A and B are shown apart, each in its own frame.
Chain A
């Protein structure tokens, strides 16, 4: 009966294209959205991931960067440095603002870097310098290109003009980018000279970052110390919390479209073979045999749709970097498992109505008309 399902499915090529194409597009919607958000999550934590720090120290109860503000007295650096297990500390200055180039306004994490900073600096500068001096900025290459900015051009940051002296890679996401200026410029624009935003900590070799982070929190008052992984996780969680409703709605839309397409095609396919199913019942096929055929057909359709949906999404992840979008799509296994599970549910639900139809078939119909 599985062979029959397979043959039924492939006999009508147009119906096959419509059903698998419809399901593929519906699942593509879910997969692509997941890939976009996974890409956003990865890019949004890129600065943290590539900071080189083992521990991020922030103001008490500040757990991430996005839509948050952290302010620590600069004396904290000395206190943290004295905690056992700490090898080095490096402050950074941070605010969310715009990089303005002509009419283009690009939301960015503005990072102020001390002159000889080793942690939290641009990690992949493809042209120009990596450390900005006074009146200089390093910005994302993609954002610069989209805004028509090249090395030596001027951009406005925090109300001041800066010369772009370096272009970095991997520092932009769909949400924002990262721009680097000097600590001096940052402090002068903020008007604050005795506070830092975050303290980036490198631990001694052989020391566990978790233990050192705990030690920092217990020895230094009013700070939150998290390992880099924990800090990045918190950052991703914020993005997730902000996008959960959107993803849920889009997933639901994708699911409903897929369900409608599948239900319609499995239903019409079964309806068109009503006589054949009736004949099989007359010959002695049990309802369970026929259910298996209908269900297998639905599962095969959805599996093909899933495969094509996955393939198109993968193709998009490969092609998008080449078309100059600041969008990054990353497919993750959890998303594939989720969409796989959704596909099985799709197949099962879409097969239910035709199965009821088959169950109600009177095998004596084969002799009608005699």
Chain B
């Protein structure tokens, strides 16, 4: 398990206002956030709360009116517009609700084209794409058009596309919204793997409560501001995702462990090493 605390993304006092004078609307107001490598942050909130605007700013698709956004130490909010496509291509991986695959291209080509845009030669891009898709269980679907793929397969292609340029940060917009619960769970597991095994930061915007299970932190955005932050932890015994503030806590060998109930805590205490081995 990778557990680095190095900050990948830092946003400081970011605001975004649209219009001027009497028509001015503040979509995001004085938001600050840090995301570490290997961390999964889930942003939730009602419609119109500013999630889209925040996500667009995080993805270097929209410039903040105030504040700074840093990715790997580079202040991307201050970069000239013509430098942003390259940053988006190489530093970000995007996953969308509607998959947004190119309908005329095969699964392999959908992934390879993003690598080619980043400068890879066609053969190299196709090799990387094939390898990623195979890892994601789509080895038999490389030459299928999106219309021949199921929703889960499409989203796995989109995940491969997001990963192909080895980005630092994955931004996922409602990644499970169009999937049934089984496939949605599979996608969540993949996202968790991307963060924990590959050490990438993952920011997810979603209404799907199930994603809380894989998130390290859940942020509630309302009226353009973070109203509540919930830090999540995994019960090492039953694997359930629990809110640290409301969980049963136990300190053991200098580390805090969180449990859904006393029963799990007691089971843990009977043989802690058994559960730590399991999670590591």
Contacts and interface: CB of A to CB of B under 8 A. Distances in A.
Interface string A269-281: 0000001100111
Interface stretch (B113-121, B194-202, B265-273): B113-121
Contacts of A283: 88-89, 94, 114, 117, 161
Contacts of B59: 282, 367
Interface string B80-112: 000001111110101011001011110001000
B52 interface: yes
Interface stretch (A4-12, A64-72, A77-85, A170-178): A4-12
B174 interface: yes
A364 B81 CA distance: 13
A3 interface: yes
B205 interface: yes
B118 A370 contact: no
A340 interface: no
Contacts of B118: 284
A274 B113 CA distance: 17
Interface in A105-151: none
A189 interface: no
Contacts of A11: 103-104
Nearest to B161: A283
A17 interface: no
Contacts, number: 81
A103 to B, nearest CB: 61
B85 A285 contact: yes
A190 interface: no
Contacts of B51: 370
Interface string B150-177: 0000000000010000000000011000
Interface residues of B, number: 32
A366 interface: yes
B56 interface: yes
- Count class of interface residues, chain A: 20 to 34
B96 A366 contact: yes
Contacts of B62: 364
B88 A370 contact: no
Given A11-B103, A363-B61, A367-B173, A284 B205 contact: no
A10 B103 CA distance: 12
B188 to A, nearest CB: 18
Given A282-B94, A284-B117, A285-B117, A4 B102 contact: yes
A1 interface: yes
A226 B79 CA distance: 74
Interface string B32-55: 000000000000000000011001
A13 interface: no
A370 B205 contact: yes
Contact of B55 (A276, A284, A286, A370): A370
| Most interface-central of A4, A7, A363, A367 (chain B CB within 10 A) | A367
A368 B52 contact: yes
| Most interface-central of A8, A276, A281, A283 (chain B CB within 10 A) | A283
B96 A279 contact: yes
A9 to B, nearest CB: 8
Nearest to A278: B100
A275 B85 CA distance: 17
B122 to A, nearest CB: 8
Contacts of A275: 100
Nearest to A12: B104
Interface string A258-302: 000000000000000001100111111110010000000000000
Contacts of B89: 283-285
A364 B94 CA distance: 12
Nearest to A276: B102
Nearest to B45: A370
Given A7-B105, A276-B103, 9 more contacts: A4-B102, A4-B113, A283-B94, A283-B117, A284-B86, A284-B89, A364-B52, A367-B59, A369-B97
The 4 closest A-B pairs by CB, nearest first: A284-B89, A7-B104, A284-B88, A11-B104
23 contacts: A3-B105, A4-B109, A7-B109, A10-B104, A276-B103, A279-B96, A279-B102, A280-B102, A282-B88, A283-B89, A284-B85, A284-B90, A284-B92, A285-B85, A364-B56, A364-B61, A364-B62, A367-B55, A367-B56, A368-B52, A369-B52, A369-B97, A370-B174
